[in-house]
Structure 1
């Protein structure tokens, strides 16, 4: 059964809240030892406490995924503490500024791309190097439905998430024969701190709900379940796949 991650080590970035926290908790529930990574120390340590309170084993490592030295240290410390790295969910991201393309500042563009796209690449780079030494592994990257269909007012976020989709496909092809599977999830609207900030705009939630065939916004646990499945043995023949978890949004 895919639920068994016993004896495996999972690394989740952006695990201080939202989808990342739900993913870290799910991996731990299914038997993995979990490394929780985030820039938000107190909330990241709270995720670790939640895992330990449920009987799991977890470690927090403060990490800015946009900085190569910190990502390299994250993987190195993971292996030093647990001895290996089997699974990685690269989930850390920011929404960036809310502004149309021509009004976007270079500073906001660079920051969003550096965290969301460069950060995912850096995580993959060091995770893959470790997995090559072990003879395999599984990686899932969090992209977004707006990396597939776009939306107004978030040009850097859309570009970064579209880039994550293509980066996932490239790495999946490069490392398939090495036993490393690489997939992506594309969440739609999901109740996270990021979405809550966007929903603060007048009428935003009503307008969003009107676009979702299932008529509701997802819970983080529903998206995390997809990430866990893609990293499990049940998905052993799945690589280079972009799994949409959006309540039917882009089927329209």
Structure 2
């Protein structure tokens, strides 16, 4: 049992979690902190939410700091990692989670809404990954801390492979994340940098609150989820913890789909 617990122990490691003031990011930050990691809780606008996550981690005996940064801005991402280094010395884990939606039919979607989603969801992840890789390589290997030089977990969506009408910008950004993640994994595996992804399905967060907050909407959503419940942030956080720890040391370039079976095309249960 102790050997298993040791595999999930992140003591002595520092993690940056982007978009961590609520929802999936907050759940991941909390779980990494409970596993012993020092956590940088990034937020763009919700300082209150980020400070609540930090307080929860500190009250449990951990170390955490909130850092405001817009991941779509190169200078903000550089500052995010500089503040992480100042607080904790280095960074061992990046969870690139920050994302948003701006929905509209394609023929009505503004260029601004297209660019905003691509800039945050895709370019923002690239900038964070690039900065993390630079920090991993600057620090070098510390075998007594962990066997990998660094770990990156990209939070994507089942819509990296399921088309989504009315949200072409979002689906395009998530499809891009998948191939970005795989390309980075291929490029840096020989340096012992592991890069993996998580593709959540329907999860109870503010971004999709209208889809689950009332019983009728939730029943309609569950038609797409064979497992019979809407996911919780902790469902994603547990997968992120596994990818961030030594238990997954031989895994890179992979996506874990955490969706209650949404990607199984449940409409075909009755024969199509």
Using the size of structure 1 for normalisation, the TM-score is 0.96
Secondary structure at the aligned position of 2:209 is classed as helix
Q: Residue 196 of structure 1 aligns with which residue?
A: 209
Once the two structures are superposed, the pairs formed by residues 99-178 of structure 1 within 5 Å of their partners are 99-135=104-140, 136-178=149-191
The structure that has the greater radius of gyration is 2
Q: 2:64 aligns with which of 58, 67, 70?
A: 58
Which 5+ residue runs of structure 1 have no aligned equivalent?
none
Secondary structure at the aligned position of 1:103 is classed as coil
**In 2, distance between residues paired with 1:139 and 1:251?**
27
Q: Residue 15 of structure 1 aligns with which residue?
A: 20
Q: Is the 8 A contact 2:210 2:217 kept in 1?
A: no
Q: Residue 196 of structure 2 aligns with which residue?
A: 183
Q: Residue 86 of structure 2 aligns with which residue?
A: 80
Q: Residue 249 of structure 1 aligns with which residue?
A: 262
1:62-107 CA distances to partner (integer Å, 9 max, x unpaired)? 01000000000111111121111001100000022x2111111111
Q: Residue 269 of structure 2 aligns with which residue?
A: none
Q: How many residues align?
A: 251
**In 2, distance between residues paired with 1:115 and 1:203?**
31
**In 1, distance between residues paired with 2:163 and 2:219?**
19
Once the two structures are superposed, the pairs formed by residues 198-217 of structure 1 within 5 Å of their partners are 198-199=211-212, 204-217=217-230
Q: Residue 41 of structure 1 aligns with which residue?
A: 47
1:202 to 1:229, Cα distance in 2 relative to 1, 3 A:
closer
Secondary structure at the aligned position of 1:101 is classed as coil
**In 2, distance between residues paired with 1:77 and 1:150?**
38
Secondary structure at the aligned position of 1:95 is classed as coil
1:23-52 CA distances to partner (integer Å, 9 max, x unpaired)? 000001000010000112111111111111
**In 1, distance between residues paired with 2:7 and 2:23?**
22
Q: Root-mean-square deviation (CA), in Å?
A: 1.5
1:147-182 CA distances to partner (integer Å, 9 max, x unpaired)? 111222111111101111110000000110111000
Shift of 1:201: 9.7
- Greater Cα offset, 120-129 or 51-60: 51-60
Using the size of structure 2 for normalisation, the TM-score is 0.89
Shift of 1:134: 2.4
Q: Residue 32 of structure 1 aligns with which residue?
A: 37
Q: Residue 143 of structure 2 aligns with which residue?
A: none
Q: 1:237 aligns with which of 250, 255, 269?
A: 250
Q: Residue 91 of structure 1 aligns with which residue?
A: 97
Once the two structures are superposed, the pairs formed by residues 217-236 of structure 1 within 5 Å of their partners are 217-236=230-249
Secondary structure at the aligned position of 1:102 is classed as coil
